[in-house]
Structure 1
Amino acid sequence: MDFSYSEEQQMLQNSVSKFIQQDYDFDRRCKLVASDIGFSQENWQLFAELGWLMVPFKAEDGGLGGSAIDLMVVMEEFGRGLVVEPFLASVVLSGSLIANGASESQKRELLGLLMDGQLQLAFAFAEPQSRYNLADVATTAVREGDNYILNGHKAVVLNGEGADKLLVAVRTGGSQIDGNGITLLLVEANVEGVHRQGYTTVDGHRAAEVKFRNVKVPVANRVGEEGTALPVIERAMDWATLALCAEAVGAMDKIYKKTIEYTKTREQFGVAIGKFQALQHRMVDMFTEYEQARSILLMAALQLDSNKGMAPKAVSAAKSRTGKAARLIGQEAIQLHGGIGVTEELDVSHYFKRLTTIQYLFGSSDFHTLRFAGH
């Protein structure tokens, strides 16, 4: 079977790779992380102009085709560059909810703005008690006339601080962990009663705690039918999980190669440490883990493309395997670098932080292993 990229995919990869090499070095990234919003609006507009924000969406929605392989191409390069712009949170995760759950009029209104770089979205789904259970929703929305009255607390909302609109998973019926009765509402981020507390996460990205106190949301802002949002949420999470795995694979490739280069120059007892056979064996293990992770990522992407975006078992297999690989490669890279590996000044420590975060974002390896076994 031919696993090589198409000509268009190679052009896409080269476009992103060129941007990372020329305009997104480590020092510039550090300045973006330390800025007020945590990313560059200029970069975001450039992403829009180059068509990267259109990659996850189908042609009928104005996108570039919506292929999982195309998304993988972009996210691998973003992983190599440790990109902090909210592509995953705003475009991949939130965009999937709109593309697969919204009405035609809502899609026309929102997706165009999203792909043009004029709209920032965030998906508020996790709650302090929910762990990885997407059906554990305690935030409530009670219908009163033409409005819903929204109350609750959403935790670690990626891009929650910078979003213009929030997609919120709320309970309109059933018990707290019932799969039925979950509804998606589109909430203006600055409306009365929405309280956002933003912060920088350990890996340099941005998130927020969002609390809703008697927030009025028009019924017209409901995305999809009332009480039936869970399947749409699960599909969007799988799509985002694949993108996250691709980002991890790109980051693992970079940190592994940086470790190889370091062992060629760092000397101990008058010899480059890369010549020690015990360390060579460990670096071979890193390479093997990377190759296995990339292979299973490609399998999951192909499964998504051949099954109309639905491949939960393949996605869980990829996330489980990728999480284990990220753990081994990240920890080995730090140890082989020695004390310098944990300093803020060295980019390896930032790759390690991102890989550590990815292990637990959207479900840990243990969670996805059990999910895989259950399908």
Structure 2
Amino acid sequence: MAVLNDEQIMLKDMVTGWARERMPVTQIRSLYDHGGGGKQGEGPGFDRAAYGEIAQMGWTGICVPEAYGGSDFGSFSLGFVLEELARTLAPLPLLSSGMIAASALVLGGTEAQKVLWLPALADGSAVGTLALEEGAHHAPDTIAMTATQTAEGWRLDGLKRFVADGMGADLFIVAARSAPASDTADGITLFLVPAETAGLTREALDQIDARRPADLRFDGMVLDARAVLGEVHQGGRLLTALLDRAYAGQAAELLGLAEQALETTLEYLKTRVQFGQLIGSFQALQHRAAEMFGEVQLTRSAVEAALTAIDTGDAETSSLASLAKAMANETAHRISCEMVQLHGGIGMTHEHDAGLYLKRARVAEQSYGNLSFHQERWARLNGY
């Protein structure tokens, strides 16, 4: 486990206290609205007022330079903020906006683009997200959405699916194919697309974790040249950098989720009596708990290594990011299942928190690449 400096310790303690008081698990439960007379998932899928609160505390600007209203505190620091918020399943777009969208502007934006968007992302008045997926699985190398150069600038046509926090976003970072891959290094260009741009329609989706992604349809959308983020036809490198941050950030959330699921389960093992004994005294259950604890510690090491690599510009960042995401996927999957099983019958009910952790884990496992994707990517990057 990394050693935190005084400022990071203060930040971590602040996040922990705020999440438990302001965003307990009951907050995500309320989004389901079962039997409440409303439709599940109405609205953006997150609490805008709560997001404004964390913006006032500076958490949304952690990856933003001070010149644009942020603190430039680094991906590692934002990682443990994401981890602590995930412990209570806080439904906030911090990963989408504060890490991925903000990093897109920092790494690829022009000065005009940074001045326009970074202060808004830092103070929470705007929410950004990455629009990448087009199929049922994470496949960043198979982008089919087209960007055609015209006299006015660029025309975008196509569909983006399962866009995280898409119903509440004000800005989309859109990846489109602007040239055949054989003609340029990769033929991908990234664009900044405000949500109100003509030619864009979005359709809300309901997920099992009650969050609200969206399908985006681009029908002859016209953008001027100022919408291009980074280099024309050469967006692959920038996209890879953004995805490495997405992988590591999502892994941090999965780590926090798994930690809390394990802690809640351990408390139950210490209090549940069966056959006249605490079930935590059964050796078989002790072995299972010990294995889960070990997996969490190994996952923490991988996640912290990936976040540190991002901040230091390590050449192994991509490999470490996929390692962290693969391990976090596997750990959260197992522990969320064990949480349900070890709680017994009550763990199968909607009224208990176990199901909420399992549902969130399943969605987060698939977001930005499942276990198989990252195992294959890690192997390829390491020459296997």
TM-score w.r.t. length of structure 1:
0.94
CA 176–123 in structure 1, closer or farther in 2 if over 3 Å, else same: farther
Aligned partner of 2:368 among 353, 358, 362: 362
For the residues of structure 2 that align with 1:309 and 1:47, how far apart are their CA atoms?
32
Match of 1:99 among 100, 106, 115: 106
The question of 1:21 aligning with 2:20 is answered yes
* Distance change in 2, residues 1:309/1:26 (3 Å): farther
Q: Determine if the alignment matches structure 1 residue 43 to structure 2 residue 43.
A: no
Percent of aligned pairs with the same residue? 31
Alpha-carbon shift at residue 61 of structure 1 (Å): 4.4
Aligned partners of 2:312, 2:361: CA distance in 1, in Å? 28
Unaligned ranges ≥5, structure 2: 34-41
Aligned residue number for residue 170 of structure 1 = 176
The yes-or-no answer on 1:143 pairing with 2:149 is: yes
Matched, 1:87 2:94: yes
Helix, strand or coil at the partner of 1:206: coil
How far residue 198 of structure 1 moved from its aligned partner, in angstroms, is 0.9
Q: Following the alignment from structure 2 to structure 1, what is the Cα–Cα distance between the partners of residues 229 and 25?
A: 39
Query: Do the aligned partners of 1:59 and 1:66 also contact (CA within 8 Å) in 2?
Result: no
Q: C-alpha separation between the residues in 2 aligned to 1:279 and 1:177?
A: 58
Q: Aligned Cα RMSD in Å?
A: 2.0
Letter in 1 for 2:110: S
**How many angstroms does 1:190 deviate by?**
2.6
Q: Is the 8 A contact 1:9 1:73 kept in 2?
A: no
The correspondence for 1:299, drawn from 305, 308, 314, is 305
Whether the aligned pair in 2 keeps the contact of 1:239 and 1:309 (CA below 8 Å) is no
Task: Give the secondary-structure state (helix, strand or coil) at the position aligned to 2:205.
Answer: strand
Distance 1:147 1:3 in 2: 47
How far apart in 1 are the matches of 2:20 and 2:91? Answer: 15
1:284 — aligned with what? 290
Match of residue 39 from structure 2: none
Counterpart residue number, 1:77: 84
Q: Does 1:123 align with 2:134?
A: no
Question: Is 61-70 or 4-13 further displaced after alignment?
Answer: 61-70
- Is contact 2:87–2:257 with CA below 8 Å preserved after alignment? yes
Mean CA deviation greater in 300-309 or 241-250: 300-309
Query: Following superposition, which runs of at least 4 residues in structure 1 exceed 3 angstroms of deviation?
Result: 32-35, 58-62, 175-179
Return 98-107 or 168-177, whichever deviates more.
168-177
What is the CA–CA distance in structure 2 between the aligned matches of 1:92 and 1:225, rounded to whole Å? 21
Aligned to 2:36: none
Out of 174-183 and 353-362, give the one that drifted further.
Answer: 174-183
In structure 2, distance between residues paired with 1:144 and 1:99 = 27
Shift of 1:60: 4.7
Further displaced range: 305-314 or 331-340: 305-314
Residue 254 of structure 2 is aligned to residue 271 of structure 1: no
CA contact (8 A) 1:61 1:99 kept: no
Q: Give the SS at the match of 1:278.
A: helix
For 1:346, what is the secondary structure of its paired residue? coil
Q: Secondary structure at the match of 1:304?
A: helix
* 1:3 Cα offset (Å): 2.9
- Asked if 2 retains the 8 angstrom alpha-carbon contact of 1:251 and 1:355, the reply is yes
Distance 1:371 1:40 in 2: 35
- The aligned counterpart of 2:7 is 8
1:318-372 per-position Cα deviation (integer Å, ceiling 9, x unaligned): 1122212112211111110122213221112111111222222211222212211
Contact kept in structure 1, 2:45 and 2:165, CA below 8 Å:
no
User: Would the aligned equivalents of 2:31 and 2:210 in 1 still touch at CA under 8 Å?
Assistant: no
Distance in 2 separating the partners of 1:358 and 1:235: 20
Task: Report the 3-state secondary structure (helix = DSSP H, G, I; strand = E; otherwise coil) of the residue aligned with 1:349.
Answer: helix
Please say which of residues 225-234 and 193-202 is displaced more in the overlay: 193-202
Q: Structure 1 362/98 Cα, relative in aligned 2: closer, same or farther at 3 Å? A: same
- 1:173-216 residue CA offsets vs partner (Å, 9 max, x unmatched): 01599861111112232333212111231222210111111111
Match for 1:239 among 216, 237, 245?
245
TM-superposition CA deviations, 1:20-62 (whole Å, max 9, x none): 1211122233224555222211111111110001112234544
- Seen in structure 2, the aligned counterparts of structure 1 residues 308 and 280 have a Cα distance that, compared at 3 Å, is closer
Q: Distance in 2 between matches of 1:220 and 1:318?
A: 35
Q: Are 1:253 and 2:252 counterparts?
A: no
**Cα contact 1:289–1:329 (8 A) shared by 2:** no
1:180: which partner in 2?
Answer: 186
**Other-structure match for 1:353:** 359
Please give the alpha-carbon distance, in whole angstroms, between the structure 2 residues aligned to 1:327 and 1:192: 41
> Per the alignment, do residues 366 and 28 of structure 1 end up closer, same or farther by CA in structure 2, a change over 3 Å counting?
closer
Residue 225 of structure 2 corresponds to 219
Contact 1:134 1:230 in 2 (8 A): no
Q: Counterpart in 1 of 2:38?
A: none
> Which residue identity does 2:118 align to in structure 1?
L
- Indicate the larger mover: 113-122 or 34-43: 34-43
Supply the distance in 1 between the matched residues of 2:314 and 2:63 (Cα, whole angstroms): 13
Residue 343 of structure 2 aligns to a residue whose secondary structure is: helix
Alpha-carbon distance, 1:235 to partner: 0.5
Distance 1:66 1:57, change over 3 A: farther
2:333 is aligned, of 313, 327, 338, to: 327
Quick one: which amino acid aligns to residue 380 of structure 2?
A: G
Unmatched tracts of structure 1, length 5 or more: none
Contact 2:306 2:321 in 1 (8 A): yes
Higher mean C-alpha deviation, range 230-239 or range 191-200:
191-200
2:152–2:222 CA contact under 8 A, matched in 1: no
